[in-house]
Amino acid sequence: MPMIDADGCLLNVSVEGRDGGPTLMLSNSLGCTLEMWEPQMEALTKLFRVVRYDRRGHGKSGAPGGLTSIERYGRDALAILDDLNIGKVHWCGLSMGGMVGQWLGANAPERFDRIILSNTSSYYPDPTNWHNRIKAVREGGIAAVADAVITGWLTADFREAQPQIAANMKAMLIATPVEGYLAACEALSTLDQRALLPRIKSPTLVIAGRQDMATPVAAGEYIRSQIPGASLTILDAAHISNVEQSHAFTDAVVGFLTQR
């Protein structure tokens, strides 16, 4: 996997799949690595060249100190495309990846064909929950919040039926570098991208989870209502819908990206 330099930060990138076809870039949730997309990779790599990466401060990517922002994460994605000499891609981002996708769709429209914004929000009216999480992680590490996060990521029924998958997701979360996780939480605590949404002109699919308490259906409905021509698909899942409803998620993504 190449390490790409984005403004002094080395980013871990994976490029797989079909040569010569359209390119799809995947962007992860907070506390996840590019491995979160494994349930989709067999299907997606048959149709697309797939670019996955670890966000700065996550997985095998660097974690330079200092404050960051959704814009910084968006510019990291553009740096990856520039380094790989890729002019235009489809985008699929979940949670924080969807927030980065909103910034990119509004600020670099020429680089994106179709955009999928999954289990995400454009605005947090009250930053209290983020401040509480930041305090807890500073005092006790990510393990201090891991059980609560996993409860939000996956429904109780799924965790009971698939304990190994839930355990793997928790291990991925806990392995996230603390400073990278905290920097991302700080960026999310001030999130307000509502003004960007009407500027997104790419065909856009919003995916929401019926049981998602972190970014509820109402957040997805708002995004859909503000992006011209956007559509909304609701899955019976909590926050990490691509894992909990992997087949339905893959079908929605492939159907949207291949429709004429």
Distance CA(17)–CA(246), nearest Å, equals: 19
Name the pLDDT band for 36 (thresholds 50, 70, 90): very high
Tell me the whole-structure pTM to 2 decimals.
Answer: 0.97
260 has a pLDDT exceeding 80? no
| pLDDT value of position 17 | 96
Question: Which has the closest alpha carbon to 1: 45, 51, 48, 44?
Answer: 51
Count: domains in the chain: 1
pLDDT in tens, 225-250: 999 999 999 999 999 999 999 999 99
Structural domain that includes position 75: 3-258
User: Is the pLDDT confidence value at 200 over 80?
Assistant: yes
pLDDT exceeds cutoff 90 at 19: no
C-beta neighbour count of 210 within 10 angstroms: 14
Q: pLDDT tens digit string along 53-99?
A: 999 999 999 987 777 999 999 999 999 999 999 999 999 999 999 99
Q: Which of 165, 229, 187, 236 is nearest to 207 (CA)?
A: 236
pLDDT > 90? residue 199: yes
Query: Alpha-carbon distance 208 to 219, whole Å?
Result: 8
* Residue-wise pLDDT tens digits, 115-162: 999 999 999 999 999 999 999 999 999 999 999 999 999 999 999 999
DSSP 150-219: HHHHS-HHHHHH-HHHHHHHHHHHHTS-HHHHHHHHHHHHT-B-GGGGGG--S-EEEEEETT-SSS-HHH
- Residues 99-105 have a mean pLDDT of 98
Q: How far apart are CA 32 and CA 197, in angstroms?
A: 25
**Which pLDDT score, from 0 to 100, does residue 47 have?**
97
Please report, for residues 13, 78, 160, 163, the alpha-carbon distance to residue 155 in angstroms, rounded to integers and kept in the order given.
30, 34, 9, 11
Reduced DSSP (H G I as helix, E B as strand, rest coil) percent helix, strand, coil of the chain, to 5: 50, 20, 30
pLDDT value, residue 1? 66
Residues 6+ apart with CB under 8 A from 231: 204, 205, 206, 224, 256
The region of weakest confidence among 12-26, 55-69, 166-180 is 55-69
Q: What is the pLDDT of residues 138-151, one digit of tens each?
A: 999 999 999 999 99
Give the CATH number for residue 134: 3.40.50.1820
Which pLDDT score is estimated for 20?
85
* pLDDT for res 3: 86
* Angstrom distance (rounded) from CA 97 to CA 94: 5
Indicate the angle between helix axes 178-189 and 96-107, nearest 10 degrees.
60
Distance between CA atoms of residues 77 and 62, nearest Å: 14
- What pLDDT shows up at residue 149? 98
Structure tokens at 105: 């769709």
Closest residue by Cα to residue 56 from 40, 43, 69, 41: 69
